[in-house]
Each structure stands twice: as structure tokens, then as C-alpha cells.
A and B are shown apart, each in its own frame.
Chain A
Amino acid sequence: MSALLEVRGLRVVFDGFAAIDGLDFTVEEGELRFLIGPNGAGKTTLIDVVTGLTKPASGSVRFGGEELVGKREHHIVRMGVGRTFQTATVFEDLTVVENLDLADSFRLPLRSLFRRRRGVSDAVASALEVADLTALADKPAGVLSHGQRQWLEIGMLLVQKPKLLLLDEPVAGMSRSERERTGELLHEIASTHTVVVVEHDMEFLRKYARKVTVLHQGHVLREGSVAEVQEDPEVREVYLGRAKGKAVG
């Protein structure tokens, strides 16, 4: 049993509409998996269910053999599942270092939280470096650009040392150079972590993806390498039929 994440028979219903319907999904330890699909395919919903934000109607989500459904969000994080959001949310009134430090401190016992932060932990220092934010360490996160916020969020995820990282559209809205930087970052992270990435950007996908899962209308349509998936007529139809001409998303 090397499967880190096992989703079985998942069904999520919003107001009578099944956003996810009979989904099975498995991620092995050490994998870098891309999750694609047209709007409304259920990609973000899947991440929401795994992280406890959304409660499924039925089905199970096992992480390292343990059931996640029914657990509260912060317990799931404490078990080692971390995520980012489509719109990076960092704490704007806190400095960059404080943001990272909070992410780093969640395993501290409550009573030591009442002490003041002294200096910067090794994990935070290396996250600052990885996210290329060392120069901005003491600036409030509110002044960061969109791309820098995404990196800060990824940095916050890294200092938490999760076993599984779920990244929701990490390059959406980024400039070309930012995207490249993020791609490199992703590769670095994937060499030491299990990562699931939701992404629309095809160019980004071709460059960095190994294995891809295509979702459509709440279930898995195809799974395979980038080339296999791209050749697949059904996948093509789903994409072209729905979002002709424009970049998918």
C-alpha cells in the first residue's frame, strides 16, 4: 500500500447538483500529479473535500490509510495535508516573515505561542529563500505583487512540511517570467514532496507535468501522461466543445 491519497466513490452535491459524482482518484507517494478539466469539472471541489472545507454526500477519502471525511480542517492540516487557494490569501497586516512564522508554528504547544518570536527559524529562512522573498521579509504582505503572494503562500505551505501538497491554480494570473519561476519552484518541491496541482495553463502543463488526470462533470475522464491525454479524442472533445478558441479556464 504505497497510495498516499485514496478517494473512493466520492459524491458531492450542491443544491441538488452533483459537482462530483462517483469519483475514484489515487495518488501514490512521491508523485507529481496534474489535475485538469473544464470549468465545473470538480477540480477545486475535490481539493475542498480532501482538505475538509466541503463535506461530501458519500464516499471516502483516505490519507495514508486514515479517513479524512468528517475531520475538521485544522486536524487534516495537522495530519500533513496542505493546500493553497486560487486567489492567494496571505495575511496582509502581518509581515512576510510573520506569515511564514505562523505557518511554521502550528505544531508548537499553545502555551509557547504566548511568547514573542525571536529571530527566524531555519525552515522560515529557507522558505524565504525558496520563495525569493528574503529582501521583503519585514514588509507587510499587503504590499506584495500577485506572483509574490502565490510564492509566499507556497512558502507557507513548505514550512508546514506537509506530506501532501494540493496547489490550486498556482500560476493563474501570473506573468510569463513569474510562471517560469513558479515552474522551477514546483519542480524543486516535487522532488521531495507528493504534490497535486490543479492547473489550466496548457503550456505550463506540457512543460512540467508527468502524470495528468482529466476530470469532467465530476468524474475521472482519463488518466495518463501529457501526450496520452492530449491525443485522447474524448478529452479533446470535452475541451474544444466547451471552450473553443480561448485558453481553457
Chain B
Amino acid sequence: MTLGRISLVVCIVLLALAPLTLSPFRLGLLAKYLCFAIVAVGIALAWGQGGMLTLGQGVFFGLGGYAMAMYLKLKEAGSAGLPDFMVWSGVEQLPALWKPFGNPVFALAAVVLLPGLVAFLLGLLVFRQRVRGAYFAILSQALAAAFVILLVGQQGLTGGTNGMTNFTQFFGLDLTDPNGQRAVYAVAAVVLGVTFLVAKLLVRSRFGRLLVAVRDGEDRVRFLGYDPAVVKTITFTISAVMAGLAGALFVPIVGIISPALLGIVPSLELLVGVAVGGRFVLAGAIAGAIAVNYAKTLFSEDFAEGWLYLQGGLFVLVLVFAPKGLAGVVESVRYRLSSRKQTPTGSGSGSAPVEVTA
């Protein structure tokens, strides 16, 4: 516990020091990793705690991202103008779907409610029918594919394959100015902190215990008088909202939102970090997401081709040799150290973090 506290303080200090030490370019990259870390917290909840292997988080990330992008585009275009990409695609009048997104309150609410609502309805439908395991995973992946096709097909509405770019301001912040970028970074760091805290409280609550019970014995939970579909739907919704928030922050930080960021492959990439870091431990998932995305940047700078192979290899290695990820490795090392201190004979009846294949 104390080790956890210390690492938490260290992380907060590092995140606070980053704007002072990193170049604006590097800080922007870190802010991008933080967005992925926010998604990772949601995945760790749904997958690690709830056993729902969600391969379509890109959809919720995208819903949040597009909602934010639409607002920012409208804001830039002013009261009479049209967003740039609409002009290029020959749209002459603002589509009705876009109109409410000119209102910042509506847009911010949509960032949360849109992914939340989609996940809620989908969850209700799917989990009540007792779709789970690989079937749920495939379904969520198909959703990501369908979402991308939808976005690409609606050129005039969504910017098509190109998506939306050229964001210069974010709620009064100048995104081209280092100070504005620092402020956006700070917002991402705070949102990550809040997300982590909410997830932590959820995991520790009775609901969190119930979620683990649903993961390990969904059918048994029914005979305790609970409806597992409700538990799973709520968790899936929360995880989708987190992805939506991350998507909304991604837009001002990276300056683009496009279908290429949301499809099957990016959705899987969101998962890799969580698997590497350890899906059962929230902090592990965050660390994994940041580390894997940092590695991606590092490798793509030097040899872009190699990264995909490395990422795939990393994923397989972790799943085979450390199914609990880095957090699991840390845990078992800590356990071994502490048990050596207490009982030299070892073989205690304690709660050994033995690798269990679920």
C-alpha cells in the first residue's frame, strides 16, 4: 500500500514538472499519451475488472472526439460561416445535425452523453441476451468497423476520410501558443487524475466487488439476486464515457480527428497498452498505455516499419508469459520478497498471486 502511495506521489510530481522541462512538442506527445491513458482506465474497468473484452473503444473515443471537433469547427467558422471541410465538399448550408453543437454546453454534454448513451443501449441489448466472451469482443470490433464506414461515407457531415483538422482555439486557449498547449496538457492531466480516482473508488466499492464476481461467475451472481446485465451495462457505459472524454481532449491536443484513428486497428492498439501494463491493476493499465505509446513514438521516429511487429510481438509475449502484465510481475516480485522476509520456508497458505488463466 505504501509503495503504491509513493509511486502515486512520484507520478503526480513528474506530471506537474513535465510542462517546465519538456519542449512544447514533447509535452504535446505526453498529453496525447495521457488521453490514451484515460481510455486505458476505462478498458481496465471493463476488461480487467468486468471481463468484457471491448475491442471497439475507438467508437466511443471517436464520438467524444467528433462532438468536440464539431464545436471547435463551428466556433472557428463564426456565426455565419461554415466549417472549412464543408466548403470544400460543396455543402452550402449547415446540416441540422451540426446546429446544436455550436453551443458549448451542448457539445460538452454530448462528449459525455453520446458515448455513454450508445454504450448503454448496446450493453442493455447485448448483455441481457447473455452475449459474452469472444462473441462480445467480435461484436464490439464489428461496431468499430461499422463506425468508420459510417464516418467515411458522410463526407459532407464528418469530413470523410480526412476527418477534421486545423483547430486553433479551445475555449479561449490559443492552441498554437505554448502556453495554450500547456493549459490543455494540464486539463488532460487533471481529467486523467479524476478518471483514475473515480475508477479506483468504483473498484473498491461493493459494486466493484460485484463486478469482479460477475467476471468470475456471471451465472452464480444471478443466484445472489443480482442481474449481471445491469452491472455490465453500467460498467461498459462508464468505460465508454472515459473513452469519450479522452477523444474530446485528443482533438485540441493532437489537432485532428479522423476515421483512421478510430477503426479496428487503433481500437486494438488501445488494448495493447492495457494488456502490457496489466489489466487487473488500474495504475498498471495507465503506465502500460503511456509506455507503449511512448515506445511507438520512439520507434516510429527511427524505423516506422518495425513498430507494428514489435507491438504484435510484445502483445503475444505478455499474454503468454505474463498474463497479468507488468503489474502482475511487480506484484509477484513483491510477494516473493515479502514472503521471504516473513517465512523462510515459503509454501505458506497466503494469497499467492499465482498466475491464474481465466
Contact = CB atoms under 8 A, between A and B. Distances in A.
Given A91-B213, A143-B351, A113 B225 contact: no
B230 A110 contact: yes
Contacts of A180: none
Q: Which 3 A-B pairs have the closest CB atoms?
A: A106-B225, A77-B225, A73-B222
Interface string A196-233: 00000000000000000000000000000000000000
Contacts of B225: 74, 77-78, 106-107, 160
Contacts of A94: 209, 212-213
Contacts of B216: 91-93
Interface in B195-242: 201-202, 204-207, 209-210, 212-213, 216-217, 220, 222-227, 230
A91 B217 CA distance: 7
Interface of B: 201-202, 204-207, 209-210, 212-213, 216-217, 220, 222-227, 230, 349-351
A116 B212 contact: no
Nearest to B207: A113
Contact of A113 (B205, B224, B227, B351): B205
B206 A114 contact: yes
B209 A98 contact: yes
Q: Of residues B212, B216, B224, which shows the largest number of chain A Cβ atoms within 10 Å of its Cβ?
A: B224
Given A74-B226, A107-B225, 20 more contacts: A51-B223, A74-B222, A77-B222, A77-B223, A89-B217, A89-B220, A91-B213, A91-B216, A91-B217, A94-B212, A94-B213, A102-B213, A106-B224, A106-B225, A114-B202, A115-B206, A116-B204, A117-B205, A143-B350, A160-B225
Given A77-B223, A110-B230, A160-B224, A105 B349 contact: no
A5 B205 CA distance: 36
B224 A77 contact: yes
20 contacts: A73-B223, A74-B224, A77-B223, A82-B223, A85-B220, A91-B212, A91-B213, A91-B216, A93-B216, A101-B206, A102-B209, A102-B210, A106-B226, A107-B225, A108-B206, A113-B206, A115-B206, A116-B204, A143-B351, A160-B225
A244 B121 CA distance: 56
Contacts of A117: 205-206, 209
Contacts of B201: 114, 116
Contacts of A112: 206
Contacts, number: 76
A140 interface: yes
A103 interface: yes
Interface residues of A, number: 35
Contacts of A77: 222-225
Interface in A129-144: 139-140, 142-143
A101 to B, nearest CB: 7
Interface string A69-87: 0001110011000110100
A101 B202 contact: no
B205 A116 contact: yes
A156 B349 CA distance: 23
Interface in A34-67: 51
B67 to A, nearest CB: 26
Contacts of B210: 102, 113
B224 A103 contact: yes
Contacts of B213: 91, 94, 102
Contacts of A108: 206
A82 B207 CA distance: 21
A92 B352 CA distance: 12
A94 B216 CA distance: 10
Contacts of B204: 116
A92 B204 CA distance: 16
A114 B238 CA distance: 13
Contacts of A98: 209
A167 to B, nearest CB: 13
Contact of A140 (B220, B226, B230, B351): B351
Contacts of B222: 72-74, 77
A87 to B, nearest CB: 11
B18 to A, nearest CB: 32
Given A105-B206, A114-B207, A117-B206, A156 B224 contact: yes
Contacts of A51: 223
Contacts of A78: 225
A101 B230 contact: no
B88 to A, nearest CB: 48
Contacts of A85: 220
A108 B226 CA distance: 10
B205 A72 contact: no
B212 A93 contact: yes
